[in-house]
C-alpha cells in the first residue's frame, strides 16, 4: 500500500491529531515529527495534513509501528504524580513511557496531566488506542477527586447534568460522594483537564485527582509507578467495550513491574 496524498478529499482524521490522541506528543510535537520525515503511513513518508484511517492504515514513528495487530503489547501503569504522559518532554520531566519496557515502543493511550495520578494504558495498538480515546466510542473513565470545600447537592446536580466550559457544555457525568470532600466522577469525553475544569466550574477546585478505571480496566493492587501487562481477557474486554474485534494472542507481553505491597487509589 502507498500513502494517500495530503488534502481534504480523503476521509479520515488528520495524522497529527491521531498521533497526539495516541499519546505520541502534543499536536505541535506530532507536526514536527511529520515535518522531519520521522512518520510513515503504509510505508511512505507521511505528509503534514495527511488524513488517515486509524483503523486500517499502518503508521510508524521512527520505525516503530503504531497500530499493528501482530506483536501488539498492552501495559497498565499506575502513573505517579509529576510524570507526564507524552512520549518525550522538552522540559525534561519524567515520562510514563520510561516506566515500562523500552521495546517494543509503546505510547500512552490518551493523556493524564502531570498532577493527575492513576491508571494509564500504554500500547502500540493504534486502532485500540483510537477507539479508547475518541468520544464517539463513549468509553468510560472513572476518577476519584479530592476537592476544596464540601460540594452541595446543587453542585453535584450541575456536574451530573453537564457543566458549561469554554470549549462547550460537557456531557452528563455520573457523580457520587466519597466522604465529605471526595467525589467519584465518571465521564466518557476525555477533554483536556476535563474533571479539574468541571469541578472548578462548580466552585470546588481539585486538590488531588486519581483515575481508577478505564472502561472495564481497574486494579487497586497496582501501586504508584508499577505496571503490568494486560491479560488476554482484559484486552478482549477492551475490544468489546469499544466495539472492536478481539485479537487472538493479544496481551501476551512477558514480565511485569508489580512490586511488593498493595496500592490504594483512593484519595488520601
Is 113 assigned a catalytic role?
yes
Whether the CA torsion 173, 176, 177, 182 is positive or negative: it is negative
Q: Give the separation between CA 191 and CA 65, rounded to whole angstroms.
A: 26
229 in Cβ contact with 75 (< 8 Å): yes
82 in Cβ contact with 93 (< 8 Å): yes
Q: Which 3 state secondary structure label does DSSP give 188?
A: coil
Residue closest to 158 by CA, chosen among 201, 191, 127? 201
Residue closest to 12 by CA, chosen among 64, 55, 58? 55
Q: Write down the catalytic residue from 113, 115, 167, 221.
A: 113
Longest Cα–Cα distance of the chain, Å, equals: 57
Q: Which 3 state secondary structure label does DSSP give 174?
A: strand
Q: Give the separation between CA 35 and CA 3, rounded to whole angstroms.
A: 15
Beta bridge partners of 75: 122, 229
For 156, the enclosing helix (H) or strand (E) is: helix 153-161
Residue closest to 235 by CA, chosen among 253, 216, 250, 257? 250
- Active-site residues, by number, are 113
Amino acid at each position: 500500500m502507498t500513502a494517500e496524498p495530503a488534502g481534504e478529499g480523503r476521509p479520515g482524521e488528520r495524522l497529527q491529531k491521531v498521533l497526539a490522541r495516541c499519546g505520541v506528543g502534543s499536536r505541535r510535537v506530532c507536526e514536527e515529527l511529520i515535518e522531519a520525515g520521522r512518520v510513515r503511513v503504509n510505508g511512505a513518508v507521511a505528509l503534514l495534513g495527511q488524513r488517515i484511517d486509524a483503523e486500517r492504515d499502518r503508521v510508524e514513528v521512527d520505525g516503530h509501528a503504531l497500530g499493528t495487530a501482530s506483536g501488539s503489547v498492552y501495559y497498565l501503569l499506575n502513573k505517579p504524580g509529576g510524570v507526564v504522559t507524552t512520549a518525550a518532554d522538552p522540559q525534561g520531566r519524567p515520562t510514563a513511557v520510561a516506566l515500562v519496557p523500552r521495546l517494543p515502543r509503546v505510547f500512552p493511550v490518551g493523556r493524564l496531566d502531570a498532577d493527575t495520578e492513576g491508571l494509564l494504558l500504554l500500547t502500540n495498538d493504534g486502532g485500540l488506542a483510537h477507539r479508547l480515546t475518541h468520544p464517539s466510542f463513549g468509553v468510560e473513565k472513572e476518577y476519584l477527586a479530592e476537592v476544596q470545600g464540601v460540594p452541595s447537592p446543587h453542585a453535584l446536580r450541575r456536574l451530573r447534568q453537564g457543566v458549561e466550559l469554554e470549549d462547550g457544555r460537557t456531557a452528563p457525568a455520573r457523580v457520587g460522594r466519597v466522604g465529605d470532600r471526595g467525589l467519584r466522577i465518571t465521564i466518557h469525553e476525555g477533554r483536556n483537564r476535563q474533571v479539574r475544569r468541571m469541578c472548578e466550574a462548580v466552585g470546588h477546585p481539585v486538590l488531588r485527582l486519581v483515575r481508577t478505571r478505564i472502561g472495564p480496566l481497574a486494579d487497586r493492587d497496582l501501586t504508584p509507578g508499577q505496571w503490568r501487562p494486560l491479560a488476554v481477557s482484559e484486552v478482549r474486554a477492551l475490544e468489546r467495550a469499544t466495539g472492536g474485534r478481539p485479537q487472538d494472542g493479544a496481551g501476551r507481553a512477558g514480565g511485569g513491574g508489580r512490586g511488593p505491597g498493595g496500592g490504594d487509589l483512593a484519595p488520601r
